Amino acid sequence: MVTGNRVAIVGVGYSTVGRNTGLSPDELMIQATMASLADSGLTVRDIDGITSVGTEPLNDAWMLGIEPLNWWASGLMVPAFAYSALSAIAAVASGFCHTALALRMIQQQPSGASMAAGTAARGNPMVASYFAAAAGDRQFLSPFGAGNPTQWAGLLTQRHMAEFGTTEEQFGHHVIAQRYHASLNDDAIFRDPLTMDEYLASRYVSKPLRILDCDYPVDSGAAVIFTTEERARDLQKPVVLVESYALTAIRDLNFEILEDMVRTAPAESARSLWSRTDLEPSDVDTAHLYDGFSVITFQWLEALGFCPPGGAGPFVEAGNTRLGGSLPVNTDGGACNVGRRHGANFCIEATRQLRGECGERQVEGADVSVWSTAVGPFAGAVLLTRG
Amino acid sequence: MSSTEPSAKPPMPVPDELTQFFWDGVARHELCIQRCQTCGHYIHYPKTICRFCQSRDLAGERVSGKATLYSWTIATQPFHPFWVDKIPYTLATVELVEQPRLMFMSQVIDCPEEELEGGLPLEVAFVEMSSELTLPLFRPARG
Ligand SMILES: [Zn+2]
């Protein structure tokens, strides 16, 4: 349990999510924020802190009409929504602000085809860095034909297979289970059932990593409102409490030259998470584990102690992570199916599970949920309980 | 679609004060890695200061070019016009023998996919990718 104020989640919301929405970052931010406010019953005047990965908090506050803002933070090379959420939790717990809006705004990244054609870099600074002359650390990647995230994910996947005997079919079981969950989620983009044959027939992007192992690039805005338990008790939705949290970095940013590709930041994050609570892995009812690439979910399953090190493949293959299994994982369908939201979807789905709002995909008696973001050099995780 | 013709230029490295030694070494067909002259640790990627002893006395030194294979992935999708007609190729994280966990990102060549395995002994090979770019790649060690 955290010291200082006990922190609660009181509002969650998304913008319109999709390919080529034409929405600006400001529009995505406003839409997501308004949805989270409506969910909480708060108004914008109740917010006094903003943290964002993907937009500039001072501009966000200005656009929302928040004045004064008592606290703000933003990050670039961070574990995405975990960083937003953990910053907000720390700010509310410390009393720096009383009600913090945590944001993750994403503008869809260009396709591999447009990158191969050399047309993708226009207007996108992150992608432009792949094309510009390879300066700085990128001179040890781009000239070698390396440096795309799918490629480091391929390296992590291959190492998991080489070290533990994990099979391509086991990754397929994970992808198929997530798709099944998505079929029960009206918000999911991909909802058609998927078979193992279809998974195994899908193309490799960076073998053994397949296109179906990758999250789906979209424009998306997500917002979560954190406040004190005391304030949360007066609001309209069931209270969801932050039980424990961890934000961990183990090295600098070079995923491709990690010294140990199967025990990365999630392992240390999990150690930190469990050290701050009396709860144990066996207490968790639903898990929402980052799935930018399938192997990341496998690393989190092992790191958090849901299965032995290297045991994620058999654990998933046995059906544990499917609805009805011992530990339903990524019940919203995951970012492969709901679109890339860099962990915000997992915080939101964990919250909805604990509130009992998940309809057909609701896990009966869900009292404890964990969600996580990122892999490799840095990671974060949050353990939530029904208040 | 001139941008996807094989003549597309590769992403060219831009050496700087820290990395000039590396590319100068490549031009001589030598693999050079930054090494702390005070404590002896190799450092990659190059930094301005040794993170082991904080010494600023760093220099590029030739290494043996011997390594073992740590992990690999077969790149089947190009993300730059230069690689369109070169897929598939095998990207690899290799561990240089000079120091435990001294990892280097490169490609493995001259090795059928079924022979790729963790710990495979490798040696450096300097390959002309285009008239402008030579790279230190790795192939299975001979003997
Ligand atoms: Zn030193």
Cα–Cα dist A64/A209, whole Å: 41
A320, pLDDT greater than 80: yes
Closest CA to A238 of A367, A332, A359, A364: A367
The enclosing H or E element of B4 equals none
**Model-level ipTM above the cut of 0.90:** yes
Ligand 1 centre from B21 Cα, in Å?
Answer: 18
Closest CA to A40 of A165, A224, A189: A224
Q: What is the reported pLDDT for A113?
A: 72
A 40-59: CB under 8 A from B: none
Residues from chain B that touch A256, judged by Cβ atoms under 8 A, are 93, 105
The helix/strand/coil state of B66 is strand
A33: tokens are 């924020």
A263, pLDDT greater than 70: yes
Q: What is the reported pLDDT for B2?
A: 42
CA pseudo-torsion sign A275, A281, A283, A284: positive
Q: What is the reported pLDDT for A132?
A: 59
HSE on the CB side for A33, CA within 13 Å? 29
Which of A131, A142, A145 faces B89 most closely, judged by CB atoms?
A145
Q: Using one digit for the tens of pLDDT, what is the confidence trace for A321-344?
A: 999 999 999 999 999 999 999 999
Q: What is the reported pLDDT for B4?
A: 45
Instruction: Tell me the pLDDT of chain A averaged across its residues.
Output: 94
Residue A148 touches partner B, C-beta closer than 8 Å: yes
How confident is residue A76, by pLDDT bands cut at 50, 70 and 90?
confident
Q: Using one digit for the tens of pLDDT, what is the confidence trace for A173-209?
A: 999 999 999 999 999 999 999 999 999 999 999 999 9
A359, pLDDT greater than 70: yes
Residues with CB under 5 A from ligand 1 (ion): B 36, 38-39, 50, 52-53, 55
How confident is residue A119, by pLDDT bands cut at 50, 70 and 90?
low
How confident is residue A77, by pLDDT bands cut at 50, 70 and 90?
confident
The Cα-based distances of A223 to A35, A148, A218, A257, A375 in angstroms read 8, 28, 16, 33, 22
Q: What is the reported pLDDT for B1?
A: 40
Residues from chain A that touch B107, judged by Cβ atoms under 8 A, are 144-145
Contact yes or no for A140 and B15 at CB 8 A = no
The Cα-based distances of A270 to A42, A48, A157, A263, A275 in angstroms read 33, 30, 20, 11, 8
Residue B19 touches partner A, C-beta closer than 8 Å: yes
Which of B10, B16, B77 faces A143 most closely, judged by CB atoms?
B10
A365, pLDDT greater than 80: yes
Chain A interface, best mutation among B43, B80, B107, by max A CB count within 10 A: B80
Name the residue in chain A with its Cα closest to that of B132.
Answer: A143
Q: Using one digit for the tens of pLDDT, what is the confidence trace for A39-51?
A: 999 999 999 999 9
> Please, are residues A329 and A306 in contact by the beta-carbon 8 Å criterion?
no
Residue B76 touches partner A, C-beta closer than 8 Å: yes
Cα–Cα dist A340/A215, whole Å: 6
Give how far the C-alpha of residue B140 lies from the chain's centroid of Cα atoms, to the nearest Å: 15
How confident is residue A130, by pLDDT bands cut at 50, 70 and 90?
low
Beta strand A240-249 with A220-228: parallel, antiparallel or unpaired?
Answer: unpaired
Amino acid present at A93: A
Cα–Cα dist A304/A248, whole Å: 14
Q: What is the reported pLDDT for A108?
A: 79
- Better-scored residue on pLDDT, A124 or B27: B27
A 292-311: CB under 8 A from B: none
A128, pLDDT greater than 70: no
Q: Indicate the length of chain A as a whole number.
A: 387
How confident is residue A371, by pLDDT bands cut at 50, 70 and 90?
very high
Cα–Cα dist A248/A264, whole Å: 10
Q: What is the pTM of this model?
A: 0.95
Ligand 1 centre from A329 Cα, in Å?
Answer: 45
Q: Using one digit for the tens of pLDDT, what is the confidence trace for B11-42?
A: 999 999 999 999 999 999 999 999 999 999 99
Q: Using one digit for the tens of pLDDT, what is the confidence trace for B101-115?
A: 999 999 999 999 999
Name the residue in chain B with its Cα closest to that of A161.
Answer: B71
Residues from chain A that touch B76, judged by Cβ atoms under 8 A, are 203-207
Residue B11 touches partner A, C-beta closer than 8 Å: yes
Averaged pLDDT for residues A61-82: 94
Amino acid present at A18: G
Cα–Cα dist A321/A294, whole Å: 13
Closest CA to A268 of A290, A251, A250: A250
CA distance B66 to chain A (A): 17
